[in-house]
Structures are given as structure tokens and as C-alpha cells.
Structure 1
């Protein structure tokens, strides 16, 4: 086994498999929930936008304090508790549907509360990872986790589209609940990440949040990484919020085609994540980020051409290339920011990034719903594509582009599997 392989560590393998189940459930729900709103509840573009906004609003509401809390909590318990909460929430959707009591208000509540649980799961997962592997394995560990996320996009969204088409959307959501429950059970096997990373005397919550904000926003490289990722998320969400409306209402498309389209984007993410390390070793970590943005981000302008026939293939190709770039960004950007951050600040750093990045998703969903009502679905796609195509500029114009290596950051030693 390679000396920098993260697979040497038993706790990493456990986190990986638990996260695989969690991502599978998330991606089935990603397809099924908006289609429930459109097909079963006759939701308008504005209501679909509201649903997508509420699904990410929690990162704006509690994202920053969540980082301060996670730094003081046992991350293993946070991960398990978040998955159990998400399983119960999504199990309520098919139950309400079978009782003929499902409403848009119910869906709104489920996605909002699910977002709160996801805040804690995501922050705890990224904060635990550097404690479960050694420094040499960190990039490969992040590449594995980002590849997992991308592969889950392929499998989960493809399966979600198929399940909706075969079994109806409410039944497909039951698969989401089962996947979250299985993830919680798997994560009980983690033995590391049991103690909080920050064991200093407790400071006021406001002070701790401010420390995380200053660390990210006061560092030019971290600030550029956050801005590029936020703009990319904004563009992607403006597009993705309107796609269920377009695919459902466009003759010749439908749930199956939407699932495959999103799965193709997942394939692009996967290829980008797997290519990140070799490309970075050849060109340098910062230059790899800059070149990927310059060469691939403009492909997002092909996405609004989506239609039946050739238009679907052209738009799909543009989406794959744009997501390839995002996959590389995720691996290299996350590795850079983890190496630039002390262990005691990891939760707050990750929460600050999540606040900005997933906050951009909430804003993007709201903007998409509003534009969909005012100017139409197709024009909204062009607005999202413009953001997606230019999001690379903050990193391209920052000192990140000149960085050839990851910064050297001392880490606590991890324990190898026997």
C-alpha cells in the first residue's frame, strides 16, 4: 500500500463508507423532492425556488455557530445524530403521502430541518478527516471523499430519476431515509474524532465565531478560494433549481432524463477529483486551479442550450466539463484550506466556508425562483451559466495561482490500522 494512502487508517475507511451511504441518500432526495413538488403538488417555478432555498437556508442561519459548537463537541456523535435526524425527517414524507396529507408546507419543513442536520454533518466530517489520517495522506483522503461525492451524484441521481419514474417520487424518498439510517449505523464504528479539537477554556460564542471569520476573510488565499467556490455554487444552483421545471414540462424529457443529466455532471466531478493530484503535481497546486478555471469554466455557457436531441448532448457536455473543473477545485481547494488551518480552528474554518458556499446555494435558489417567475426558465439558465463561467476569476487573480506546493501544517499523529 502506498505510504501516502489514506486507506491505511481504519477510521478513514469507516468514515468513507458511512459517507457513501449518506451521499447516496442525499442524491436520491435531490432528484425526488423537487419532482414531488412539481408532479404531485403542482408547484410553480417560484415555489420550487423556495423549496431549494429552504434546503440550504440553514447554512446561513446556523452555519457560523455550528462551527464553533463542533469544535467543542465529539464529532463522532455529531455525525451519527445528524444522520438519524435526517432519516426520520425523510421517512415522514412517504408516510404523509400514503395518508393523503402531504403538502408543500410539509416539504418546506422537511428540507429546512434536513438542512440544519446537514450543516452539522458536513462541518463535523471535514473537521474530523484531518484527525483520522496523517499529513502525507491528506490530499489523497480529500480526493477519495470528493470522488465519493461525485460517484454518489452519478449513482444517487441516476437511481433517483429511475426510482421516481418506476415507483413515484414519494416512494423514492423512502430510499433516502433508509440510506441515512444505514450511514448512522456504520459511523458507530469510528473510534477516532471522539474528542473535541479545541479543548481550551470556553470563550464566548461570538468571540469564537469571529476568530473563524477573521481566519478566512483575513487571509488573501482563503478569501479567494471562498469567493470562487461561492460564485460557482451560485451559478450551479440558479441552473439546477430550474432544471426540474424544464425537464418535467419539456416534451421528450422527464424524470429519467433529468436523473441521467445530473448523473453526467457527477461523472465530471468524479473525473475532476481523480485528476486533481496528478495535475497538481505536474503544474503546481495553484496553477492547476487557475488553468482548470481558464480552460473549463466557460463550458458552462453551453448548459442553457439544453433541449431534446442534439441540444441535450451539447448542454450535457458543457455540464460535464464545468463539473470536472469543480471536482478539481474541491480536492485542491479543500486540501489547501485544511493545511492553512490549525486543528483548533478547523470546525470554524469549515463552517465559515460552508456558510459562504452553501449560503450562495440558498441565494441562488431564491434568485432562480424569482427570475423563473419574471423572465422565464430559459433566461434564468443563462444567468446561472454566466456566473458559472466566470467564477474562477478570484482564484485566477489571487496569490493562490502561484502556489506550487501545499503549505506545511503540523498535524496530530493518526493511528494506523493494525
Structure 2
């Protein structure tokens, strides 16, 4: 196939498939943001969970990356990524619909909530690995960063409106009922994904014989470890997520119990604060046109770490009146998401450029094994540590660690500039 025909095909697919994929991703993000607010409220208010139990709930959502993260990448590279996302969305819809049903029959318990969180976590592993590996199949290479910025902009709009809407709904409805919004959103997501067309080779073309799963997994791990750009990013994102999870696990307890602000205020704080992420996604293309990727990533991490100071500070000043802590929480969330989204769009785009297309899922799974695998450990530690030394002192630990996450990015520009676009390794 000639280069001109290939480019034309890619442009056609990007124009026709990407908007529908973008819509599906937006629906998924809306549901996810509702869940991030409503699930802890179900545990805390409906089931009277303690600090450690909230940590276990967060861990249940993310521990699957440690358990199946690496094989998931090898499987997704063999499967149709679009079909994988559709099935994962359907599983999450069915399982989350069980929360209001169990609650209605007075059967909902922390045990059920943990089980539901684990199943949602497993489905999320497959969805997320396929999702981050899919963009190069629906847009031309030169548009990858722009596409990622658009996807992130809708994620941040969902992050801004989702928690605020969830907080308002929580005032009128019981938290288990609000979880039903997640289920509906995932149904919408699956419906739009079913209409997307892409350039991914069929499953038969990708099979390439009966390659052993272990060999495929190790190939992905070796590629990440052997690539200096991916190796540094893996360390930086892993440390960043660990300390961010430490902070975010305790944030509902900080708002609901330490400050006594209520679920509606929590939704508004998280929603308004994440407008910083929307600003980052809208401005990143222009920022990247002026600055190298390494500089952008380092600045984003520093901004996120410094902004997190507002969380324990708000807890320390809780006695001075509700307006001051709320203002600090909003500013902190705004700055943290601005920095985190700036870093995330840049690093995901760099990863997609340096990786062969037939290894995208394995690369993504290998990175996420480290990145997301650190989150259940951080969540359990947050619950345990928060119970022993208190929520606010534990938040200060999270802030201190987050400020160190930019260190592995130092000197990254030289490595990124010397990394040529990776060829497809498929034969």
C-alpha cells in the first residue's frame, strides 16, 4: 500500500472512528467519576466503614493490576481491542447494577462491596489496557498527542461535572441508587464502541501461531525495562501514583469526618477542583509546541506535588471555619489535577510513539503493573496508617513523597529526542 493511500485511510478512520470512540470514553468517564464519589459514601455512610475498611475498598479496585495486569497485556495484544473494551464495559454495567439491587433487598454488606469492587477492577484492567493501546489504530501518528489531549479534556469535564452532580444526587437519593448511574454510563459506552471502525488487524492476522503467553508477557516486560524512556517513566509514574493514592484514599475521610463537610460538599470540591485538568488538556498542545516533553512532564509533576499541600493544611485549619478548608481543598484539587493531567497526556503520548503497535498492550500492561500495582499497597497503607497516626499526619506523608516524583524525569528530553519511532515488530 502506498504512503498516500495509507495516510488517507488513517485520516478517514480518525475522522470517522475517533469521534464515536471519544463519545464512548466520555460516557465511561462520567460513570467512573460517579463511582469514585458514591462508592466511598456507600461504605462510610450506608455501611459505616472505618478508615482501614475504606482503604481495603480502594485496594479492591486496584489490586487486580498486580494479579492479572501482565497477562492482560498479552491477551489484549491477541484480541480485538475494541471488542475487549465493549465486553469490559458490559461487565462493569451488570456488576455495578447489583449495588442498588442488593441494597433494596437489605443484602448489601462490605463483603459484597469488596467483591463488586474486585470484579469492576478486573474489567477495568482489560478496558484500560485496550483503551491506551487503541488510539494509534484510529488516528495518524502525528495526531496521537492531539487525540490524547481531546480524550483527556472530556475526562476532565467528566471529572468536573461528575463528582458535583453525584454530590447533589447524594443529597436527594441514597448512595447505592446513585451507583446505578455508573451502570447506565457503561451501557452507553459499550453501545458507541460497537459503532467504531479502526485499522487494527483482525484477530486471525494478529494470532501469529500458538505463541506462549509467558513468552509474550516477558517480551513486553523486557521492552519496557530495556527502553530508557519507558524505564524512567515507569519509576516516576509508579512513585507518583503511590503517594497520590495515599492522599486520595484519605480525602473522603478528611472531608466527611475530619472536616464534617458532607457528601454534597465533597462532590463540589472534587468537581470544581478538577477544572484544572480541563485547563491542562486544552492548553497542552500549545505548551508542547513551545517546550520539550521532559520539561512539560517535570513541571506537571512538581505542580501536582506542591498543590497537594492544601489537603493536610485544610485538615489542620478545619477549626477556623468551613470556608477556609473548602477553599484550600478546591485550590489543591485544581492545581493537583492541572499538574497531573499535563504530565499524563505528555507521558502517554511519548509511550505510544516509542512502542511498536503490535506490542502496545503489553507495554501498557507492563507499565500499569508497576503504576497501578502500587495503588492497592498505598490504599491499605493509608487505611492502616491513618488509623494509627491520624488522617492529617498521613496526608503530610503523601505530600512529601509526591514532591519527589519529578526526579526520574531529569534529563528525559535527551532520551526522548534520541528515541526514533519504533517499527512494528510483527512479521
Would the TM-score normalized by the shorter structure come out above 0.5?
A: yes
Unaligned runs of 5+ residues in structure 2 are 1-7
Pair 1:378-2:392 in alignment:
yes
Is the partner of 2:211 in helix, strand or coil? coil
Structure 1 position 150, deviation (Å): 1.6
- The match for 1:346 is 360
Q: Secondary structure at the match of 1:203?
A: coil
Per-residue deviation, residues 368-416 of structure 1 (Å, max 9, x unmatched): 11111111111111111122222111112x434664698434579xxxx
1:142 deviation in Å? 0.9
Aligned ranges for residues 67-106 of structure 1 at < 5 Å? Answer: 67-106=73-112
1:299/1:389 contact within 8 Å kept: no
**1:339, 1:406 within 8 Å by CA — same for their partners in 2?**
no
Distance 1:207 1:136, change over 3 A: same
How many angstroms apart in 1 are the aligned matches of 2:370 and 2:274?
22
- In the aligned structure 2, how far is the partner of 1:6 from the partner of 1:265? 37
Change (3 A) 1:111 1:67: same
Q: How does 1:1-400 map to 2 (within 5 A)?
A: 8-192=14-198, 193=200, 195-196=202-203, 198-250=206-258, 252-294=260-302, 297-306=305-314, 307=318, 308-396=322-410, 398-400=411-413
Inter-partner Cα distance in structure 2 for 1:280 and 1:407 = 18
For normalisation by structure 1, the TM-score amounts to 0.92
Post-superposition offset of 1:99 = 0.4
Cα distance in 2, alignment partners of residues 95 and 302 from structure 1: 38
Give a deviation string over 1:79-106, Cα, whole Å, max 9, x none. Answer: 1110110001000000000001100000
2-side partners of 1:156 and 1:6: how far apart?
Answer: 32
When residues 402 and 71 of structure 1 are mapped into structure 2, their CA distance, relative to the original with a 3 A threshold, is closer
Contact 1:86 1:117 in 2 (8 A): yes
Instruction: Give the Å deviation of 1:288.
Output: 1.9
CA distance in 1, matches of 2:181, 2:61: 18
Give unmatched runs, 5+ long, in structure 1: 413-418
Aligned length: 409
Asked if structure 2 preserves the Cα contact closer than 8 Å seen for 1:292 and 1:325, the reply is yes
By how many angstroms is 1:313 displaced? 1.4
- Structure 1 counterpart SS, 2:367: helix
Question: Structure 1 residues 226, 273: closer, same or farther in 2, change over 3 A?
Answer: farther
Secondary structure at 2:63's aligned position in 1? helix
1:245 alignment partner, SS class: helix
1:7 and 1:13 in contact (8 A); partners too: no
Q: Contact between 2:303 and 2:336, CA under 8 Å: does it hold in 1?
A: no
Q: Distance in 1 between matches of 2:338 and 2:96?
A: 30
1: distance between equivalents of 2:424 and 2:404?
A: 35
**Which shifted more, 400-409 or 205-214?**
400-409
RMSD: 2.2
- Measured in 1, the distance between the counterparts of 2:96 and 2:207 equals 35
Partner of 1:415: none
Q: Is the 8 A contact 1:395 1:401 kept in 2?
A: no
Cα gap change, 1:8/1:128 in structure 2, threshold over 3 Å: closer, same or farther? closer
Give the whole-Å Cα distance in 1 for the aligned partners of 2:248 and 2:291.
32
> TM-score normalized by structure 2?
0.90
Per-residue CA distance 1:176-228 (angstroms, 9 max, x = gap): 11111111111110122462484433321111111111111222211111111
- d(CA) in 2 for partners of 1:255, 1:7: 43
Determine the C-alpha separation between the residues in 1 that align with 2:206 and 2:155: 28
